[in-house]
Amino acid sequence: MSGDVVSAADGRARPGDWPGASEWVPRGRSVAALADAAQRCRGCDLFRDTTQAVMGSGPADAELVLVGEQPGDREDVEGEPFVGPAGRLLDAALTEAGLDPSAVYRTNVVKHFRHTDRGGKRIHKSPARWQVAKCEPWLLAELDRVRPRGAVLLGATAGQEAFGATFRVGESRGRWLPWPQAWPAHRGEFTLATPHPASVLRSRRRDEDLAALVADLRVAAELLT
Ligand code: URA
Ligand code: SF4
């Protein structure tokens, strides 16, 4: 079964060779069960050269979900989302915006760390659109189980996963956006887009961009009241 798929696809990263994640997603309502199951996922080629799959973390009944892109180098090693530098900045911004970091559920569009090796260092590489599509069943399963009222889309990968390839964070940030049609609705009331905290870390106008991130997160906090 999955073993055949992997060997048939070995050495090639052609989208059609990979089945997508759905056959590995367990039934039921448990959020905790997803992280275990994702370790076996062979839905696309990204499980290779990684330490582990990184599923979301946070309260299973959180009102707010934060959706990033994919685990980074630290997250791959530790098995938790947003534990590296971008995560620390995000937590500080959440607190500043009046949101309790321990009350939100953090996750990513893609569950394995895509990277290239350069001089022995693992350099982040954004997932391709086809890899995002293959991995989507995991995010949909999380949303179906956590049933949040709102979701913050951190950066272009999350924004485009929700609203399609033409979505631009810069044009839509910091205001109420609808709950995406393809997502399990349940309590879903809104999404809100904002630039990824990693882009704030890289910015030459870091203080300004951090203040703008905080302002966007304040809007999310208000939408929850
Ligand atoms: N960037 C992300 O998008 N997600 C993480 O978990 C860490 C960094
Ligand atoms: Fe499965 Fe997603 Fe990992 Fe691809 S990135 S192997 S679809 S969990």
Least confident of 5-9, 29-33, 59-63, 68-72: 5-9
Q: Is residue 162 one of the residues assigned to a domain?
A: yes
The answer on pLDDT for 8 being more than 70 is no
Q: What local confidence, expressed as pLDDT, does residue 12 receive?
A: 55
Distance CA 106, CA 90 (A): 10
The atom number, within ligand 2, closest to the CA of 44 reads: 4
Q: Cα of 22 to ligand 2 centre, how many Å?
A: 10
Q: Please report, for the domain that includes residue 75, its CATH number.
A: 3.40.470.10
Q: Cα of 81 to ligand 2 centre, how many Å?
A: 15
Q: What local confidence, expressed as pLDDT, does residue 13 receive?
A: 66
Question: What percent of the chain is modeled with pLDDT above 70?
Answer: 94
Q: Is residue 3 one of the residues assigned to a domain?
A: no
Q: Cα of 71 to ligand 1 centre, how many Å?
A: 5
Determine the average pLDDT of the residues in 208-215: 98
Q: Cα of 63 to ligand 2 centre, how many Å?
A: 26
Q: Is residue 14 one of the residues assigned to a domain?
A: no
Q: What local confidence, expressed as pLDDT, does residue 192 receive?
A: 98
Q: Is residue 12 one of the residues assigned to a domain?
A: no
Measured from CB, residues less than 6 Å from any atom of ligand 2 are 21, 38, 41-44, 46-47, 53, 110-112, 134-135, 138
Number of domains in the chain: 1
Kindly identify the ligand whose nearest atom is closest to the C-alpha of 158: 1
The answer on pLDDT for 1 being more than 50 is no
Q: What local confidence, expressed as pLDDT, does residue 14 receive?
A: 85
Q: What local confidence, expressed as pLDDT, does residue 11 receive?
A: 55
User: Which residue has its alpha carbon closest to ligand 2 atom 2?
Assistant: 135
The answer on pLDDT for 127 being more than 90 is yes
Q: Is residue 112 one of the residues assigned to a domain?
A: yes
Determine the average pLDDT of the residues in 110-135: 96
Task: Provide the residue range defining the domain that includes 60.
Answer: 19-224
Determine the average pLDDT of the residues in 54-79: 98
* 198 CB near ligand 1 (under 6 Å): yes
The answer on pLDDT for 143 being more than 70 is yes
Q: Is residue 200 one of the residues assigned to a domain?
A: yes
Q: What local confidence, expressed as pLDDT, does residue 7 receive?
A: 45
Q: What local confidence, expressed as pLDDT, does residue 114 receive?
A: 98
